[in-house]
């Protein structure tokens, strides 16, 4: 198969170990979100549920990605390089994963900021997120750089819409939050921009010199790092916001089953 470069032992193992690490991170994050869910006020528990779903879906896909990677290369006869086995590495796992998790990630943020008034913004952002992923896929699997550029460009349109909406649409909602909470929300939004901005950059790496072994390895490692930050790291931030807001609403985090006085917000 032309277009599948030979890898050194180091290159193959690097990707292999990153997949393994990412799988473990998603698995651990899942346990964390499930255990933390009862420690936030009931109105924020859907956000924690969504965090758990995101890392569960991602964990499953990383397991499949990990297997697919192992199956798509074999050691050459000399034992000093990995060559294509004939079974193509399945990039679709990653895109199906994004299709399911990216709309949930957007919804999580909106739900934690304003659990009451969320319908329309969630719907339009989740739709845009799905569109972004679908439009990116034909470019991702193409070895032709022109095709990659065209689909990448189309995918960037809904991407910009999301970024713009999160800047303007959430601005108003943030005004109504207390000082500590709005700092947390601002940081979470920053984390979202920084990590999401990383994906199109990783996507563009092959433009530097085609799908070489180096580009292929960098793309896989880059997506792993971005996924751990954008799913597990971001979920922890969402938890921090939910916990802070629960406290501000009078809940005692340690004894969540018995809220003190929900009616009277406790001062700090
Ligand atoms: C957990 C997975 C996440 C948060 C994935 C996010 C993915 C993106 C923001 C992807 C964006 C892309 C573009 C803006 C253009 C090129 C194609 C994509 C799909 C890599």
For residue 1, being part of any structural domain is answered with: no
Range of the domain at 26: 7-248
For residue 150, being part of any structural domain is answered with: yes
Instruction: Check if 51 has its Cβ closer than 6 Å to any atom of ligand 1.
Output: no
Q: How many domains does the chain have?
A: 1
Distances in Å between the Cα of 113 and the Cα atoms of 7, 178, 236 are: 46, 11, 15
For residue 234, being part of any structural domain is answered with: yes
pLDDT of residue 211: 80
What secondary structure does DSSP assign to 111-171, as a single string? HHH-SSS-HHHHHHHHHHHHHHHHHHHHHHT-S-HHHHHHHHHHHHHHHHHHHHHHHHHHH
Which sign does the torsion angle of CA 176, 117, 55, 124 carry? negative
Tell me which residue has its CA closest to atom 6 in ligand 1.
Answer: 196
Q: 225 and 233 in contact (C-beta within 8 Å)?
A: no
Low-confidence ranges of the chain (pLDDT < 70): 1-3, 117, 172-173, 256-268
What separation in Å is there between the alpha carbon of 193 and the centre of ligand 1? 11
* Residues in a beta bridge with 7: 82
pLDDT of residue 259: 53
What separation in Å is there between the alpha carbon of 99 and the centre of ligand 1? 10
Q: Find all residues with CB under 8 Å of 45, minimum gap 6, and list them.
A: 37, 38
pLDDT of residue 268: 47
pLDDT of residue 129: 94
For residue 255, being part of any structural domain is answered with: no
Tokens of 113: 């900021």
pLDDT per residue as tens digits for the range 1-60: 456 899 999 999 999 999 999 999 999 999 999 999 999 999 999 999 999 999 999 999
Q: CATH number for the domain including 238?
A: 1.20.1070.10
């Amino acid at each position: 198969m032309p277009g599948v470069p030979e890898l050194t032992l180091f290159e193959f193992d690097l990707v292999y170990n990153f997949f393994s690490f990412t799988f473990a991170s998603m698995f651990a994050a899942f346990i964390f979100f499930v255990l933390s869910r009862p420690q936030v006020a009931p109105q924020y528990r859907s956000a924690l549920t969504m965090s758990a779903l995101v890392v569960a879906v991602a964990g499953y896909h990383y397991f499949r990605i990990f297997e697919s990677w192992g199956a798509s290369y074999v050691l050459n006869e000399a034992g000093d390089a990995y060559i294509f086995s004939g079974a193509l590495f399945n990039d679709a796992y990653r895109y199906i994963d994004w299709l399911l998790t990216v709309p949930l990630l957007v919804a999580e943020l909106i739900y934690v900021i304003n659990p009451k008034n969320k319908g329309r913004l969630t719907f339009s952002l989740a739709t845009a997120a799905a569109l972004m992923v679908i439009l990116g896929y034909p470019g991702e699997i193409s070895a032709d750089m022109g095709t990659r550029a065209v689909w990448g460009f189309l995918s960037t349109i809904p991407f910009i819409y999301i970024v713009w909406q999160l800047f303007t649409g959430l601005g108003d909602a943030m005004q109504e939050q207390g000082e500590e909470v709005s700092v947390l929300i601002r940081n979470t939004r920053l984390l979202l921009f920084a990590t999401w901005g990383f994906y199109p950059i990783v996507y563009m790496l092959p433009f530097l010199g085609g799908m070489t072994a180096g580009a292929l390895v960098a793309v896989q490692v880059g997506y792993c790092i971005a996924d751990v930050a954008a799913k597990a790291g971001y979920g922890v931030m969402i938890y921090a916001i939910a916990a802070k807001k629960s406290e501000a609403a009078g809940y005692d985090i340690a004894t969540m089953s018995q809220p003190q006085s929900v009616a009277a917000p406790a001062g700090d």
